[in-house]
Chains A and B, each alone.
Chain A
């Protein structure tokens, strides 16, 4: 797949919950290797859009193309295959509480193809180490972990099948600044070494500056602008201005620039 075919392409997406319209003629293209953040005010349908890309929700109308394939045309088997090429990390982790961490990661690998149990275990351990979890965490259960470790474990499960596309719903929400920073580093590192495209929903301005190379701003039921962060904050659009024109955003920007100088 070359750089110029979009890995995700949304055309004229319409979504509605009851009488409430969430998306109206929304268009978005994401290219191979991008680190895209979806931002926008509360309730503007960021998470909904992410679920639609993950094929967990169906829009009312519109086209979704993933990996250069029209999703609507695919049969169940092909959809299943397509889902194995995407990893989704849910906001609360959504790890299965009745399974240990290692078993959580082993589950998708085991279900994909018949492999020796010892190999599946080794692959699970590999993923655990890739996300920087200590090997002692392997037999722990999700409820025994701290928030930061839980998020890492959730990423490990999302990466179990080595997807090309990693979707993250508020990955750093609820983490302390140190853990959040470390988590951002982890995402960058994974992106650099694996052939990954990242799409994340986030409110964390530090993360926005740190890890994204493209930001899609959602507002007025569509994508108002997709641009790198430094271009985005220069936009005249009033919604975008308002979102970033508070002190918190400026502080994050200053911090980021100071960091670059150092």
Chain B
């Protein structure tokens, strides 16, 4: 351990000065502080130094120059050796290549084209895997499929039900405040049912699943990709898509509509509770009006979106996973992108559906 005596300092003597202290990494800062004083020294300079390491030697060379004649007296052979070694390694840091704006524009344009191609590539391979499975249905990975249904369907039930229930209650509450002023309490049924069945039920289920499962797909496949597990599957004559993507797609195509139905029921339950507490609409009256006044088409319109959302979530999650490269940061980056893109696309597609359905008179 560096003793206090080895601390860098300059001692003036009658016929010159002594530079005392070890030239080691721990003292670099102190030496740099002494640099102006050291360079101002004139006359004979003697060095009193027990240890020197390469970092220290670098700073030594910075202060006393690279020419051995300008070095102070008193260096040991070993220290001279280190100084020689460090002196021979003087390559400067190469400048980091950076792009000008035109090159950047080109780079980003090419990258977007590449993304488009990757998406097409992914969808093509997925379709091929699907066709291969349809030709030989017994090769379907049933266990993986059931695993997906359990993990991404069954285990998502509590959170989806709770969120949808709260959402239904909030809508009923806010809508109820407005309806009450007109005395139109009973219209709460249409308000809650239509918004929930058509839009919010499918949407909340899809968003939760995208956050919950889409990210997990991306992280899992990205890690497998970096670990060369995807290549290993390929080398064993297996189609990675049949193992990694198809079970997730089929599983979520089944699970997400079911979760949507659950979200619808829970949302209606939340609305019903608020209606009976705040607006004096009894649950019996609520159900009756629901059956009489709300067209069942609203339910089907909502439900038809669920498989599309499932396709989006699986495609985005798995594709981001397959594209991952570059270590731990790559996994994090792809996972984030998968969630952001999936939720973004789900909402865009939902908006498109709304436009299409309202234009066709549904």
Contacts and interface: CB of A to CB of B under 8 A. Distances in A.
Interface of A: 67, 69, 81, 84, 97-98, 102, 109, 112-116, 119, 121-127, 129-130, 135-136, 138-139, 141-143, 159, 161-162, 193-195
Contacts of B93: 102, 121-122, 124-125, 135, 138
Contact of A109 (B55, B89, B91): B55
B94 A138 contact: yes
B69 interface: no
A186 to B, nearest CB: 13
Interface stretch (B22-30, B134-142, B251-259, B349-357): B22-30
Given A97-B327, A113-B29, A126-B89, A195 B94 contact: no
Given A97-B328, A130-B54, A141-B326, A161 B89 contact: no
B132 interface: no
A246 to B, nearest CB: 30
Contacts of A126: 54-55, 58, 86, 89
A194 B24 CA distance: 12
Contact of A115 (B1, B32, B94, B326): B32
Contact of B85 (A119, A138, A193): A193
A109 B25 CA distance: 9
A67 B3 CA distance: 14
Contact of B82 (A109, A125, A194): A194
Contact of A130 (B1, B32, B89): B89
Interface string B231-271: 00000000000000000000000000000000000000000
B121 interface: no
A225 to B, nearest CB: 32
Interface in B308-362: 325-330
Interface of B: 1, 24-26, 28-29, 32, 51, 53-56, 58-59, 62, 78, 81-82, 85-86, 89, 91-94, 96-97, 325-330
Given A138-B94, A143-B325, A195 B85 contact: no
Contacts of A123: 55, 58
A115 B89 contact: no
Given A112-B25, A135-B94, A194-B82, A98 B89 contact: no
A194 B54 contact: yes
Contacts, number: 86
A162 B29 contact: no
Contacts of A129: 89, 91
9 contacts: A69-B1, A97-B326, A115-B32, A119-B58, A126-B54, A142-B327, A143-B325, A193-B81, A193-B85
Contacts of B29: 113-115
B82 A161 contact: no
A219 to B, nearest CB: 33
A162 B24 contact: yes
Nearest to A124: B93
A171 B234 CA distance: 31
Contacts of A194: 53-54, 82
Nearest to B30: A113
A141 B97 CA distance: 14
A223 B265 CA distance: 68
CB-CB nearest 7 A-B residue pairs: A97-B327, A162-B53, A129-B89, A98-B329, A135-B91, A113-B29, A162-B25
Nearest to B325: A143
A193 to B, nearest CB: 5
Contacts of A136: 94
A96 to B, nearest CB: 8
A119 B32 contact: yes
Given A114-B29, A125-B92, A193-B81, A162 B327 contact: no
Contacts of A102: 93
Contacts of B53: 162, 194-195
Nearest to A196: B53
Given A112-B25, A130-B54, A194-B53, A125 B91 contact: yes
B49 to A, nearest CB: 13
A136 B32 CA distance: 28
Q: Which of B92, B97, B325 has the most CB of A within 10 A?
A: B92
A115 B55 CA distance: 12
Contacts of B325: 143
A115 B27 CA distance: 11
Contacts of A139: 94, 96-97
A155 to B, nearest CB: 13
A161 B53 CA distance: 9
B214 to A, nearest CB: 23
Contacts of A159: 54
Nearest to A137: B94
Contacts of A115: 28-29, 32
Contact of A161 (B51, B55, B78, B326): B55
Contacts of A125: 89, 91-93
B187 to A, nearest CB: 56
B329 A97 contact: yes
A125 B94 CA distance: 9
A193 B82 contact: yes
A97 B89 CA distance: 26
A129 B90 CA distance: 8
Nearest to A136: B94
A15 to B, nearest CB: 27
A194 B29 CA distance: 21
Nearest to B85: A193
A193 B58 CA distance: 15
A161 B58 CA distance: 13
